[in-house]
């Protein structure tokens, strides 16, 4: 009998429970493995806080949002413990051994892939599943959580159209996505936003204002601006890139352009507010902001996310049964592939500026900020 541990790490994402159920049911019922959950991400593994998953725990969770295991953004090598930040990797390795685990399944986004790789390098049999509403994990076509968030953000844009239209306003709607523009771009296209701003295409506020004024002249004195939380003006982008370059050089390291877009939630909101004020000033229209925030991560997962999470989860149990470890279970084309963690960790899948979704947006007349 194989003993399998499972944990969820990073931000919650719709479909996590469907994935836990997929891994668990296949492992227990199909392969006769023993499965144990760890609470609150890597912290639960460090503190050996477990949750039974061999009773009825896997039933009735397919449609539930969040994660029954709980989650945290803790990293094994940088754990806040008693006011200090400590490398607790060895404690985690010890608990893995004490629980006689043959494999550890980590459900998470980009950060989780890096953490899992570190544990692999310590000799653990780790296997990961890609989840995040940001859809920014490398080497997989899609991550679960994205489709649900896309639906929520699109519905928000649909609803915001009423007020924008009736009050002749600009509504700037801030959409999550961290350093990637997938969610804002997808929802912007699906919801018919008039302007879409994503981190991958630094914007010129004058160009955005002109697009809005042009609509007004054409008899549409209202606009919806879908702004990815990581969106950045060309001016700020150049300034930050120069600063990062200097920092990178002085440290002897090289930073990617994407790193320049990293920010905190408050800074994102501040940027959105400043953008709205500037557009108000440049166009003469009244502007309002809406920050969708964690609404985008909550609630019932979409059918597509439940399906994807179940496919990835059950495939994960298949890989464990074959002893395929040190990999992420990825959706590639019509199938599912095991991708080495080394090929995934530390990479961010951003939107190529000439991606077909961007081209479609441009074709229907959406301003992309440039």
- Please enumerate, by residue number, every residue annotated as part of a binding site: 11, 73-74, 132-134, 169, 176-178, 229, 288, 294-297
CA separation for the pair 52, 275 (Å, rounded): 49
What DSSP character marks residue 348?
B
Q: Cβ closer to ligand F6P: 91 or 190? A: 190
Q: What share of the chain is helix, strand, coil (3-state, %, to 5)?
A: 45, 20, 35
Pick 266 or 364: Cβ nearer ligand F6P: 266
For ligand F6P, which is the closer residue by CB, 22 or 108? Answer: 108
- Where are the extended beta strands (E) located within 158-308? 169-175, 195-197, 223-228, 286-291
What is the closest distance, in whole angstroms, from the C-beta atom of residue 220 to ligand F6P in the complex?
Answer: 30
Binding site for ligand F6P (CB under 6 A): 11, 109, 132-134, 176-178, 229, 265, 297
With beta carbons less than 8 A apart as the criterion, state whether 89 and 121 touch.
no
- Which C-beta is closer to ligand F6P: that of 62 or that of 176? 176
Q: How far is the CB of 176 from ligand F6P (least distance, A)?
A: 3
Q: Which residues are annotated as a binding site for ATP?
A: 11, 73-74
Please state the closest distance from residue 10 (CB atom) to ligand F6P, in A.
Answer: 6
Find tokens 């899609």 and name the residue.
142
Q: Known catalytic residue: 194?
A: no
Smallest distance from the beta carbon of 286 to ligand F6P, in angstroms?
28
Q: Whole-angstrom Cα distance, residue 150 to residue 355?
A: 17
Contact 106, 79 (CB under 8 A): no
Phi-psi region of 294 (alpha: psi -120 to 50; beta: other; left: phi over 0): alpha
Which one from 12, 40, 134, 194 is the annotated catalytic residue? 134
Select 169 or 349, whichever has its Cβ closest to ligand F6P.
Answer: 349
Contact by Cβ (8 Å): 321, 2: yes
CB of 178 to ligand F6P, least distance (A): 4
Least gap, CB of 96 to ligand F6P (angstroms): 26
- Comparing CB distances to ligand F6P, the nearer of 191 and 221 is 191
Both tokens of residue 270?
A: 């501040």
Contacts of 193 (CB under 8 A, 6+ apart): 157, 173, 187, 224, 225, 226, 366
Instruction: Mark the binding-site residues for substrate, compressed into ranges.
Output: 132-134, 169, 176-178, 229, 288, 294-297
- Residues that are catalytic: 134
């Amino acid at each position: 009998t194989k003993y399998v541990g499972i944990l969820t790490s990073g931000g919650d994402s719709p479909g996590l429970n469907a994935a836990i159920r997929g891994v668990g049911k296949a492992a227990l019922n199909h392969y006769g493995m023993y499965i144990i959950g760890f609470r609150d991400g890597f912290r639960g593994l460090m503190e050996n806080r477990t949750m039974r998953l061999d009773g009825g725990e896997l039933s009735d969770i397919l449609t539930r949002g969040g994660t029954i295991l709980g989650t945290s953004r803790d990293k094994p090598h940088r754990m806040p413990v008693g006011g200090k930040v400590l490398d607790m990797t060895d404690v985690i390795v010890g608990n893995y051994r004490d629980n006689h685990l043959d494999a550890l399944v980590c459900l998470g986004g980009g950060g989780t892939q890096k953490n899992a790789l570190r544990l692999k390098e310590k000799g653990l049999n780790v296997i990961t599943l890609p989840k995040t509403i940001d859809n920014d994990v490398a080497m997989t076509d899609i991550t679960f959580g994205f489709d649900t968030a896309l639906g929520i953000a699109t519905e928000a844009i649909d609803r915001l159209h009423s007020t924008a239209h009736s009050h002749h306003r600009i509504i700037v709607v801030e959409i999550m996505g961290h350093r990637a523009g997938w969610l804002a771009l997808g929802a912007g296209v699906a919801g018919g936003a008039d302007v879409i701003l994503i981190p991958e295409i630094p914007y010129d506020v004058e160009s955005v204002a002109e697009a809005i004024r042009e609509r007004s002249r054409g008899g549409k004195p209202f606009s919806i601006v879908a702004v990815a939380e990581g969106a950045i003006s060309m001016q700020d982008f150049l300034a930050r890139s120069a600063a990062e370059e200097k920092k990178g050089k002085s440290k002897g390291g090289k930073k990617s352009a994407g790193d320049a877009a990293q920010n905190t939630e408050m800074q994102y909101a501040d940027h959105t507010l400043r953008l709205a004020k500037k557009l108000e000033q440049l166009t003469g229209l009244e502007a309002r902001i809406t920050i969708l925030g964690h609404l985008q991560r909550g609630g019932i997962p979409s059918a597509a996310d439940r399906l994807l999470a179940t496919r990835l989860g059950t495939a994960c149990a298949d890989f464990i049964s074959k002893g395929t470890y040190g990999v992420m279970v990825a959706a590639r084309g019509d199938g599912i592939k095991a991708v080495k963690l080394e090929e995934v960790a530390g990479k961010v899948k951003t939107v190529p500026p000439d991606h077909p979704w961007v081209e479609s947006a441009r074709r229907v007349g959406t301003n992309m900020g440039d």
